[in-house]
Amino acid sequence: MTTNATIPDIEQDAPARIVSPAVPSGSGLRRVEWVLLAVVAIFYLLHFVHLSADFPNRSPWSEWAKYTDEGWYGAAAIRHYQLGRWDVPGDFNPAAAVPVWPLLELALFRVTGVSLVAARALTVVLFGLTLVCSYILLRRWAENRDPAAFAGKGAVPLGPAAAVLLLATSPFFFAFTRLAVLETPLMLLGVVGLLVAQNAGTAAVTAKAAMPRGWNRRRALAWAALLGLTLVGLVLTKTTGVFLFPAILWMLWAACDYRLRLFAAAGAAAVGTAAIVWGGYMLLLVRPHYLADYRYLFAANEYTGITMATFWAVVKNTFESAELLGKAIFWIGVVSIAAAVIFLAARRHLRGDGLAVSLLLWVGCYTAFLAYHDNLSPRYYQTMGLALVLLIAMVFEAVWSATAWRAARFRLLAAGAATALLLTAAFGAAETIGYVRHPEYTFVHAAERLRDVVKREQLRNPAHSPMVLSISGADLSLMTGLPSICDDFGTMTLPDRVETYRPGWFAAWNYVEDDKMEALAPMYRVVRVAEFPAFDDPDRNLLILYRLDPRESPGRGQARRRRTIRAPRRLQTRMGEQPTVKQLEH
């Protein structure tokens, strides 16, 4: 099959020597691989240490998701245990569009209870599965590119181990895969999608040629259906998963041996399955019940900072911001992309390297999305960074294995490549160890102190609502169990949301914004009661807690039309009659 082609075929004048390469010291390379994998295992286990600690302070990454996203995107699971339902009508309910992650958390919380540590442990487990699947994907590629070398089990590819080493020791991936956000499950499903597409294409080719055809056709159909489920899972994990579709479909095309009829049959089965599952979800759940929440997630993100006037500036910023992955990984990745493109373009038969082209499409399409969206948060580079590291490992493996049978002049190139990767892993490992050795717990401690203030007020005045209004409210709910609503996003306007749910507390970062005060002032006296230092960002490093004391006759100004909404039963209360924390917990 043409999918077994390789990057790169360095010499044009000695193709016959590829057939039977002399493999250098297979047992020695195997020991090297085991050492690398042992280091990977150690650094992966370090991801489980201090799981409740802050996202690293004084790091290169200014990431606002550490205040909000862990709670926002797990809110459905959190609220299921607090309120008996997954949503709070009118508030921010992203699970309508991205339900996969909260469903995973829901299953976990049935065992552990609602817990920040449990949620983060889950995402670390998914990162571990990503490492395993990445290793399998590259190992399969390395073996397919030169079956003769692996026939006697003499050759040992170091590229797969190098890939997972770079990922496990990277301080960037250490910081972001320990946040319970959507990027880590998206990465896992992206790699799984490539593996499933490869199996689906191979099964389609086998079904065409092998006997008995009935069994092989059913097997091919099953793999294609699984691919369809994976595509749906990508979109329902994070809507930007659609930008990974070209990479996965190219892998299917390559695995079908570039036969149009086979690709069309397998693709039709996959797309048909995806359409049925996604269509059923939309028609049976979203459209009749949660369409407003579904649309709102897209409306809240429906913007782009790129115009004809700003095009090149945005492209430049998108490119430069990729250094957040780590300068060494970024620039080695740029060189690897250039090398892959050059060799794929120069060698006609190498255009059949399905994995190489798929990873190039992955990096290219996701980077194009980043430029279009022009919201260059570091976490958005996590998904693209995975494909970049895998591409680096592929080019390294091709260069390294070429020294086994090519002229000695290429050994210097391979030694340089190996040194560069080892130094990158070593410096990354040192930085990661620094984060492990110096954990900080400012946000968790702030949340605990905030909870203590609320509970003391509950003992003094049981009628005062424990509900917290805050942009970080969902994170506070995850850490403390206090009910919350968001002060920024929601399908209802903030004044209507405040009037409907009557929160008793307001938590703001550093200062109260004008629109928040305008929504609260007609109904409450906003009394500052405590402040808690947290994190290191200059714009958000002080969490301030305000008690909301109801005014005797809250005024709403001029009457205006507003949408009537049905609040959850356990939150359907009048002023001063909200349930206590103990009641909500039981």
Sign of CA dihedral 144, 146, 150, 151: positive
| CA separation for the pair 306, 293 (Å, rounded) | 26
Strand bridging mode 524-533 / 484-485: unpaired
Query: Residue 557, class by beta-carbon neighbours within 10 Å (0-12 exposed, 13-18 middle, 19+ buried)?
Result: exposed
Residue whose entry in the numeric block shows the structure tokens 């970049």: 388
Sign of CA dihedral 12, 13, 19, 22: negative
Q: What is the pLDDT of residues 501-560, one digit of tens each?
A: 999 999 999 999 999 999 999 999 999 999 999 999 888 999 999 999 998 744 444 434
Q: What's the token pair of residue 109?
A: 């919380």
Give pLDDT, residue 1. 44
DSSP 3-state of 159: helix
Strand bridging mode 524-533 / 542-550: antiparallel
Give pLDDT, residue 152. 56
Of 381, 530, 565, residue with least CA distance to 448: 530
Give pLDDT, residue 406. 54
Q: Which long-range contacts link 315-320 to residues 24+ away (Cβ below 8 Å)?
A: 315/371, 317/374, 317/376, 318/367, 318/370, 318/371, 318/374, 318/376
Give pLDDT, residue 5. 46
Side chain identity, residue 58: R
Low-confidence ranges of the chain (pLDDT < 70): 1-26, 148-154, 210-213, 215, 303-305, 347-352, 402-410, 553-586
Side chain identity, residue 275: A
Give pLDDT, residue 23. 43
Side chain identity, residue 481: G
Helix axis angle, 100-112 relative to 116-145, nearest 10°?
120
Q: CA neighbours within 13 Å on the CB side: how many for 446?
A: 26
Residue whose entry in the numeric block shows the structure tokens 């009508």: 89
| CA separation for the pair 139, 135 (Å, rounded) | 6
Q: SS in 3 state form for 521-562?
A: CCCEEEEEEEEEECCCCCCCCEEEEEEEEECCCCCCCCCCCC
Give pLDDT, residue 568. 58
Sign of CA dihedral 185, 55, 72, 319: negative
CB count in 10 Å sphere of residue 500: 20
pTM listed for this prediction? 0.88
Starting at the earlier edge strand, list the strands of the sheet with 542-550.
484-485, 468-469, 505-509, 542-550, 524-533
Contact by Cβ (8 Å): 316, 376:
no
Give pLDDT, residue 34. 94
Q: In which element (H, E) is residue 509 found?
A: strand 505-509
Give pLDDT, residue 20. 37
Q: What is the pLDDT of residues 429-456, one digit of tens each?
A: 999 999 999 999 999 999 999 999 999 9
Q: What's the token pair of residue 81?
A: 């245990």
**CA 307 to each of CA 7, 158, 335, 372, 374: distance values in angstroms, whole numbers, following the listed order:** 37, 44, 29, 9, 10
Contact by Cβ (8 Å): 256, 201:
yes
| CA separation for the pair 92, 100 (Å, rounded) | 17
| Residues linked to residue 531 through DSSP beta bridges, in sequence order | 544
Contact by Cβ (8 Å): 145, 6:
yes
Contact by Cβ (8 Å): 155, 23:
yes
| CA separation for the pair 537, 435 (Å, rounded) | 17
| CA separation for the pair 459, 549 (Å, rounded) | 16
| CA separation for the pair 205, 339 (Å, rounded) | 30
Give pLDDT, residue 580. 41
| CA separation for the pair 263, 583 (Å, rounded) | 57
Strands (E), 331-439: none
**CA 528 to each of CA 443, 469, 489: distance values in angstroms, whole numbers, following the listed order:** 19, 14, 23
Cis peptide before 8 (omega within 30 of 0): yes
DSSP string, 254-317: HHTTT-HHHHHHHHHHHHHHHHHHHHHHIIIIIIIIIHHHHHHHHHHT------TTTHHHHHHH
Phi, psi of 58 (to 5 degrees): 55, 35
Of 170, 99, 122, residue with least CA distance to 393: 170
